């Protein structure tokens, strides 16, 4: 729990991610050695930071390239003397923000940003990240190493951007957290459809961002979206780890605490947008759609007309073929499967989602509702071939068999 704060504070002092991680590890080892003997201190995080700062002096002395840091570290240590360890927590929020914007810098590829964020802010090992994304551990290790090298080579500043650059860079930060959650919520590969740990990490990061940047509407919008989506997690998996679709979920299993948190975050997002004279952002609009689902006692009682309208706004302001596909689903619920199929066919003709398994899955569902079972069966078969997730593939093959 203290890892992100510890590493963030140490990066500010030594100016190097690898060195900061090593110092953090040394402090944790010292805690494992001393706390069982002396007892856990009143402020564990402050103790760890103070211990790591002392060890930073040794690092600076050993490395002439970091000699210029000695004055800064010595000054911080002198400042800390005579104070309780709580003083070591000062400015930690700024340190965390700086580390978030560094790990999510646009000069890094999306996979590298995700891996580095989970390592620095989630505290996950390379093995845990590799297992979560079903990729070789060596691949994750290389991504992290390359990301650190790129940050050093491109001299990415360890700082929070300002002005117009802040908005651009914040989009990158939010996207990384969103990608982490999506991979946990609907895993792209492997046996498990949901990876709860990734969802929890993303949710924690979203909450942290909302707390650190309360005047940024989209931090609250993203937090709201993830709270509401995560509220359904327990209902999305059957007793034998089978996929349970939204229409079949037992809504009494939805987490009401997360739903209330989602509503509160969405309210904050709208309030901040109004204060700045801005319309709702990408994540706030998606959260509003999730909120409509959360308010409905059943699929039949869902306000699909409102959902279709929100998707239309989302598609107009933030065009995306996936948004268009989701809008087609909502239109099919409002105006019937033929209307939804017309939109899906128009989207398919563009070729934008040729390798996206949910396009034939949605098309198969609409065709099945129209009674065109042979065509539906072919679409479900194609969707099953395109997905890399075994649980989702099993569901699609079952849908295909039901069309026999």
Per-position pLDDT tens, the chain of length 404: 788 888 988 888 888 899 899 999 999 999 999 999 999 999 888 899 899 988 877 776 666 554 555 555 555 555 554 444 444 444 567 888 888 899 999 999 999 999 999 888 877 788 888 877 778 999 999 999 999 999 999 999 888 888 778 877 898 899 999 989 998 898 888 888 898 888 998 999 999 899 989 999 999 999 999 999 999 999 999 988 899 999 999 999 999 999 999 999 999 999 999 999 999 999 999 999 999 999 999 989 999 999 999 999 999 999 999 999 999 999 999 999 999 999 999 999 999 999 999 999 999 999 999 999 999 999 999 999 999 999 999 999 999 999 98
- Residue among 138, 294, 286, 189 at smallest CA distance from 231: 294
Neighbours of 82 (CB within 10 A): 7
Residue 147: predicted pLDDT: 95
Rounded distance between C-alpha atoms, residue 27 and residue 132, angstroms: 27
3-class secondary structure, 237: strand
CA distance 239 to 250: 12
Alpha helices in 188-320 (DSSP H): 196-212, 217-230, 256-275, 282-295, 304-317
The whole-angstrom separation of Cα 102 and Cα 108 is: 10
Our CA dihedral for 392, 393, 395, 400, rounded to 10 degrees, sits at 150
Could you tell me the two tokens for 320? 């995306």
Residues in the chain: 404
Is the CB of residue 14 less than 8 Å from the CB of residue 56? yes
Q: Does residue 298 sit in helix, strand or coil?
A: coil
Tokens for 170, please give them.
């914040």
Alpha-carbon span 21 to 27, nearest angstrom: 10
The answer to whether 94 and 213 have CB atoms below 8 angstroms apart is no
Buried residues in 46-64 as b, exposed as e (16+ CB within 10 A): bbbbbbbbbbbeebbeeee
Long-range contacts, 103-107 (Cβ 8 Å, 24+): 103/147, 103/176, 104/169, 104/172, 104/173, 104/175, 104/176, 105/151, 105/156, 105/169, 105/172, 106/168, 106/169, 106/172, 107/150, 107/151, 107/154, 107/156
Backbone dihedral region for residue 232 (phi beyond 0: left; psi -120 to 50: alpha; all else: beta) = alpha
CB atoms within 10 A of CB 214: 12
State residue 89's pLDDT score: 43
C-alpha 224, offset from chain centre: 12
Nearest to 186, CA basis, from 174, 175, 198, 176: 198
Contact 402, 252 (CB under 8 A): no
Distance CA 195, CA 197 (A): 6
Q: How open is the CA angle 317-160-111, to the nearest 5 degrees? A: 65
Give the pLDDT score at 64. Answer: 54
Q: Which residue has the tokens 């007309």?
A: 305
């Amino acid at each position: 729990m203290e890892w992100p704060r510890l590493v963030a504070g140490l990066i500010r002092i030594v100016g190097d991610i690898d060195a900061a991680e090593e110092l953090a590890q040394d402090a944790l080892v010292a805690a494992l050695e001393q706390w069982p003997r002396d007892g856990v201190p009143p402020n564990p995080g402050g103790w760890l930071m103070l211990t790591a700062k002392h060890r930073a002096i040794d690092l600076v002395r050993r490395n002439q390239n970091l000699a210029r840091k000695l004055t800064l570290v010595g000054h911080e240590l002198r400042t800390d003397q005579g104070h309780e360890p709580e003083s070591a927590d000062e400015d930690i929020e700024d340190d965390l923000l700086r580390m978030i914007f560094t790990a999510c810098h646009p000069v890094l590829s999306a996979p590298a940003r995700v891996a580095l964020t989970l390592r620095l802010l989630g505290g996950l090992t390379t093995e845990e990240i590799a297992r979560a994304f079903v990729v070789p551990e060596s691949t994750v290790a290389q991504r992290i190493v390359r990301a650190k090298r790129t940050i050093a080579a491109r001299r990415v500043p360890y700082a929070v951007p300002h002005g117009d650059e802040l908005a651009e860079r914040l989009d990158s930060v939010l996207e990384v957290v969103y990608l982490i959650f999506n991979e946990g919520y609907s895993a792209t590969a492997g046996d498990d459809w949901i990876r709860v740990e990734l969802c929890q990490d993303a949710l924690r990061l979203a909450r942290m961002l909302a707390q650190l940047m309360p005047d940024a509407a989209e931090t609250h919008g993203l937090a709201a979206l993830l709270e509401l989506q995560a509220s359904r997690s327990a209902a999305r998996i059957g007793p034998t780890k089978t996929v349970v679709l939204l229409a079949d979920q037992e809504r009494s299993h939805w987490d009401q605490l997360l739903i209330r948190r989602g509503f509160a975050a969405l309210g904050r997002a709208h309030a901040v947008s109004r204060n700045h004279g801005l319309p709702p952002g990408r994540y706030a609009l998606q959260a509003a759609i999730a909120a409509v689902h959360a308010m409905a006692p059943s699929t039949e009682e869902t306000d699909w007309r409102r959902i279709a309208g929100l998707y239309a706004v989302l598609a107009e302001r933030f065009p995306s073929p996936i948004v268009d596909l989701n809008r087609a689903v909502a239109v099919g619920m409002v105006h019937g499967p033929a209307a939804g199929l017309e939109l899906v066919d128009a989207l398919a003709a563009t070729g934008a989602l040729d390798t996206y398994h949910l396009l034939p899955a949605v098309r198969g569902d609409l065709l099945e509702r129209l009674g065109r079972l042979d065509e539906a069966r072919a679409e479900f078969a194609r969707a099953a071939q395109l997905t890399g997730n075994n649980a989702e593939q099993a569901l699609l093959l079952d849908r295909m068999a039901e069309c026999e």
